[in-house]
Structure 1
Amino acid sequence: MNTESQFIYAHDPMCSWCWAHKPVWQRFAAELVDRVAVVHRVGGLAPDSDRVMPVAQQQAIAGYWHQIQERLGTEFNFDFWTQNEPRRSTYPACRAVIAARWQEAELAMISALQAAYYLRALNPSNVDVLQQLAEEIGLDGVRFAADLASEKLAQALTDELNLTRSLPIAGFPSMVLWHRGRYHEIALDYQDYRAALRQVVALLGDSEREGVAK
């Protein structure tokens, strides 16, 4: 593994395109694990808000879900829009990811958040849902609740969002390789990761190409 480089997956746990990309990303990440350190960094699509989304905005986002479903076959539970009071607020879910990271369970929390939002029609903008998910994945619930409300975590989120926004990306999900003092945006395809893998291998100067799909 190239220990001087880092692969950054920039995402938001409530980003529908990140959900759509998950199957391909998981296969890609498995190819990367022995080549370069992989980290996830949250993007913070929408700040904290107690306002219920306007109906037009709810319809627009539900429309994106339909488009993704039709294009990629991604599963969505549209009951979310009738069983909740949706808010345009993803910062709580982003904080939950960081709090879980502090308990060595970042990936489990990302998966739990996505399943809650897109399959279980639960609202990850709500703290009680985040607490429920933390306990479902086996986190220390008391520690999680304290971390979630702490100034330390608020600052960690601010720092992470500043980093993500400094990357050479235009949206989420995005992939960036830090290598030899430079950020390199990696091409993202929702159906095939092989071109991205070839790009990473070339940038790393890896001569061992047996693991690269032709």
Structure 2
Amino acid sequence: MSTVKPKLYYVYDPMCSWCWGYKPVWQKIKQAVADDIEVVYVLGGLAPDTEEPMPEMMQAQIASYWKKIENFLGTQFNYEFWTDNTPRRATYPACRAILAAREQGAEQAMFDAIQVAYYTQAKNPSDNSVLVDLAKELGLDITQFETDLLALKTHQALLTEIRFARSIGGNSFPSLFLVKGDKSVEIPVDYKDADVTIALITSEA
């Protein structure tokens, strides 16, 4: 008799600074539970498409979030991003890049690449050109990637995934939800202690 593994949904956005701060703890959690639980990445979609430059007040506010995360968790950020780019409040391009990479089995690799480019190399993942360069660096089929990145079906798939994230309660990022049968439990995110979360997941699974 085959048993279906419980699912752990990780709701995220590739340009979410708290997801970057959470990364070391999340990696430990994922490795600890992966044998017994199916880990599923779900895009939450932080900010829709826009070509408008980000207002300076919003830039200052987001930079202050970075500083808060840096002080709280010791996470590194490259603040040259704010002077080297014209920031836009748009994470959907990066989300579509994740979906395009998922088609080639490279979702997590693209997630990592976007975070590193954004937060340590001061590159702008709101720009398709940056996302295409990352796909090249990952060795993806670039023709396929570019086609998928710009395809209407990819955008529709993103909107469907965002609706699913909201339906399970994923309104902030990162969020964790453990689903076993028809029971869904939100797992509180502890940004500093992987063991607390691992124990909670294990007890619920």
**In which range does the TM-score fall when normalised by the shorter chain?**
over 0.9
1:114 corresponding residue in structure 2: 115
| Shift in Å, 1:183 | 1.4
**Gaps in structure 1 of 5+ consecutive residues:** 205-214
2:136 corresponding residue in structure 1: 135
Determine if contact 2:44/2:171 at 8 Å carries over to the other structure. Answer: no
What RMSD in Å do the two structures reach over aligned CA positions? Answer: 1.2
2:14 corresponding residue in structure 1: 13
Residue deviations 1:149-195 (CA, integer Å, cap 9, x gap): 11221111011000011122441101001112121101211111212
Determine if contact 2:5/2:36 at 8 Å carries over to the other structure. Answer: no
2:37 corresponding residue in structure 1: 36
| Shift in Å, 1:2 | 5.9
Distance 1:17 1:2 in 2: 34
Determine if contact 2:12/2:43 at 8 Å carries over to the other structure. Answer: yes
Distance 1:170 1:96 in 2: 21
How many positions carry a matched residue from both structures? Answer: 204
Which structure's relative contact order is higher, taking Cα pairs within 8 Å and 6+ residues apart?
A: 2
2:178 corresponding residue in structure 1: 177
Distance 2:130 2:4 in 1: 37
Residue deviations 1:103-137 (CA, integer Å, cap 9, x gap): 00010000000001000000000000000000101
Q: Which runs of 4+ in 1 moved over 4 A?
A: none
Distance 2:201 2:71 in 1: 30
Question: Normalising by structure 2, what TM-score?
Answer: 0.97
- SS across alignment from 2:4: strand
1:152 corresponding residue in structure 2: 153
User: Counterpart amino acid of 2:126?
Assistant: S
Give percent identity, aligned residues only: 46
| Shift in Å, 1:4 | 3.9
